[in-house]
Amino acid sequence: TKLKSLEKKVQHSEIDMDKSYEELPDEDYWKIRNIIIAEHPSFKEVAPSPPYEYDTKEEKIMTTIQSLLHRHLIQDLSIVAKILIIILWIGAFAAPWFLEMYQSILNRFGY
């Protein structure tokens, strides 16, 4: 609820949130930090920037900023790898049928 409100405020400020914390430029960090200070009751006594100085609550602010950043799953499998996984899944489901068929062939020949 409070986090959703913060997220909307940050989105309206047109800061690109589709990145990891490590990729976040310093300028965007300080802009998001000022929004959090203005909107979040836990950080009301923290001085906004500039001056660009860290506060004793900076670690909590940093954690809040990290939770606001969007995380996107990266599909990094190639087409060949995806096909291989599908074949493995089909093989796993078909294995009991193949084993039963193999056993019946062995039984016919007396093994």
Q: What is the pLDDT of residues 1-15, one digit of tens each?
A: 677 778 888 888 888
Work out the average pLDDT over 58-85: 82
Query: Going by C-beta distance under 8 Å and a sequence separation of 6 or more, which residues neighbour residue 62?
Result: 21
What pLDDT, on a 0 to 100 scale, did the predictor assign at position 48?
A: 84
Alpha-carbon distance of 44 to 38, in angstroms, equals 7
Mean pLDDT score, 53-63: 88
Residue 21 has pLDDT above 70, yes or no: yes
The pLDDT of residue 87 is: 95
Q: How far apart are CA 67 and CA 95, in angstroms?
A: 44
Reported as a pLDDT band with limits 50, 70 and 90, residue 73 is low
Distance, C-alpha 110 to centroid of its chain: 57
Query: In 3D, which of 15, 18, 22, 25 has the Cα closest to residue 36?
Result: 15
Mean pLDDT of the chain, nearest integer: 85
